[in-house]
Amino acid sequence: MLIDKHGFLALVMVAATVAAGCSGESSGGEPDAGGLDETARCVAITDSIPPVCSLDGTERRTMSITNNCSEEIDIWWVTYGCIERFSQRLAPGGIFRQSTFVTHPWRARAVPATGEPGATKGALLKEFGAIPQGTDDVTWAIP
């Protein structure tokens, strides 16, 4: 809440950046639906990354991440020390499948303009910080 120069209260709302022209987004850690859109460009969701780290866990799940963007994306695992480790580059329509713990965060990033895969991080496209508990495979889509 702010008070303007006339003494009136003004509500300030902060909106999250949403990727324009993309479909299949989810919220709350729920799996995504949607298909490959040849025209969909992936757009960064944030400029700053909160410190999220992998935690010890015993519950495993198999996750799949599908690249529905028109360009390649990079998949990164966040270690116990909060450091991102490059895992795989996905072509448009590609699927990354991995057995992981529900306490391990993953990130999808844009491919940087230069550099070998995993040498440089691109803009953050999506973070998978809370893999839902359960027994079924989990599927997400970018965008």
Lowest mean pLDDT among 16-25, 47-56, 91-100: 16-25
Q: pTM for the full model?
A: 0.69
Q: Which residues contact 13 (CB under 8 A, 6 or more apart)?
A: none
Q: Is 35 helix (H, G, I), strand (E, B) or coil?
A: coil
Domain boundaries, the chain: 1-143
pLDDT above 90 for 52:
no
pLDDT above 80 for 42:
no
Give CA–CA dist 127/122, Å, rounded: 13
Four-residue CA torsion sign, 70, 129, 106, 58: negative
What confidence score (pLDDT) does residue 46 get? 64
DSSP β-ladder status, 124-128 and 106-110: antiparallel
Lowest mean pLDDT among 8-17, 51-60, 75-84: 8-17
At residue 13 the predicted structure's pLDDT band, cuts being 50, 70 and 90, is: very low
Give CA–CA dist 112/76, Å, rounded: 13
Query: Which residues pair with residue 62 across a beta bridge?
Result: 99
pLDDT above 90 for 43:
no
82-134 confidence digits (pLDDT tens): 999 999 999 999 999 999 999 999 999 999 988 789 999 999 999 988 788 78
CA neighbor of 103 nearest in space, from 57, 61, 140: 57
What confidence score (pLDDT) does residue 15 get? 26
Segment 45-55 mean pLDDT: 75
Give CA–CA dist 112/133, Å, rounded: 33
Topology of 1-143 in CATH?
Answer: Immunoglobulin-like (2.60.40)
Cβ proximity of 138 and 62 under 8 Å: yes
Q: What are phi and psi of 66, to 5 degrees?
A: -105, 130
Give CA–CA dist 21/37, Å, rounded: 10
* Residue-averaged pLDDT of the chain: 76
